[in-house]
Amino acid sequence: MTNLVLFGPPGAGKGTQADILKEKYQLVHISTGDVFRYNIKNQTGLGLTAKSFIDKGQLVPDEVTINMLNAEVEKNPEAKGFIFDGFPRTEKQADALAESLKAKGTEVKAMIALEVEDEVLVKRLLERGKTSGRKDDADEAVIRNRITVYYEETAILKEYYKKQDKYYGVDGVGSVEEITDRISNVIDKL
Ligand code: AMP
């Protein structure tokens, strides 16, 4: 199995690239943000819990997120591999992912991190907010909080995967095609 963690701050382009890469490499794409938004739209209990955190730009608690992620993995027993987008975001989540993949006799093959400067992220997210309908893209203070949360709670995972020799940084600025090519160069050499 080829299991990839597509990593980067909010607005780095993880979702856009994951949509392309899942077709190209026949992988199952799991975006925890998308699963939360689906649950919010359908007014499930999970959605209700998640909404209060997401609207403020905070992380949804680990336990809730990990249980949800495991359920998504279990829904795809035939997968040739997964692209995880927006997960893991904490060390606890990274440990849980390792554990659940280990139970399947597999592991994370690589973390591919999209690198984009903060001011470019804010600009991109404000632009996306005009059409995405996402409340957390519409307010600059919430956007900046999401970026702060990324640095304070999530960015440490680069070290986590570096220690395992699984970290690959990719320049996340350029055209969508250019960035897909850069990521594909990494995947093709794994
Ligand atoms: P995203 O679509 O990845 O930008 O995620 C949108 C929001 O969903 C985040 O700002 C968090 O509130 C929540 N979220 C998504 N993934 C996670 C995760 N792995 N852990 C905690 N919260 C998450």
Question: DSSP string of 74-139?
Answer: HT-TT-S-EEEES---SHHHHHHHHHHHHTTT----EEEEEE--HHHHHHHHHHHHHHH--HHHH-
Q: What is the average pLDDT across 57-65?
A: 98
Q: Is the CB of 10 under 6 A from ligand 1?
A: yes
CB 183 within 8 A of CB 176: no
Q: What gap in Å lies between CA 181 and CA 178, rounded to an integer?
A: 5
Q: What is the average pLDDT across 89-111?
A: 97
Q: What is the average pLDDT across 40-56?
A: 97
* Banded model confidence at residue 180, pLDDT cuts 50, 70, 90: very high
Question: Which residues does the annotation mark as catalytic?
Answer: 14, 89, 128, 134, 146
Q: What is the average pLDDT across 133-140?
A: 94
Q: What is the average pLDDT across 25-41?
A: 98
Q: Is the CB of 89 under 6 A from ligand 1?
A: yes
Q: Which atom of ligand 1 is nearest to the CA of 36?
A: 8
Q: How far is the CA of 28 from the centre of ligand 1 (A)?
A: 18
Kindly report, residue by residue over 107-125, the tens digit of the pLDDT. 999 999 999 999 999 999 9
Could you tell me the two tokens for 97? 């992912």
Polymer length of the chain: 190
Q: Is the CB of 65 under 6 A from ligand 1?
A: yes
Q: What gap in Å lies between CA 171 and CA 181, rounded to an integer?
A: 11
Letter for the amino acid at 190? L
Q: What gap in Å lies between CA 31 and CA 29, rounded to an integer?
A: 6
Kindly report, residue by residue over 14-27, the tens digit of the pLDDT. 999 999 999 999 99
Location of structure tokens 């404000």: 126
Q: What is the average pLDDT across 124-134?
A: 95
CB 182 within 8 A of CB 16: no
Q: Which atom of ligand 1 is nearest to the CA of 32?
A: 16
Q: What gap in Å lies between CA 64 and CA 166, rounded to an integer?
A: 26
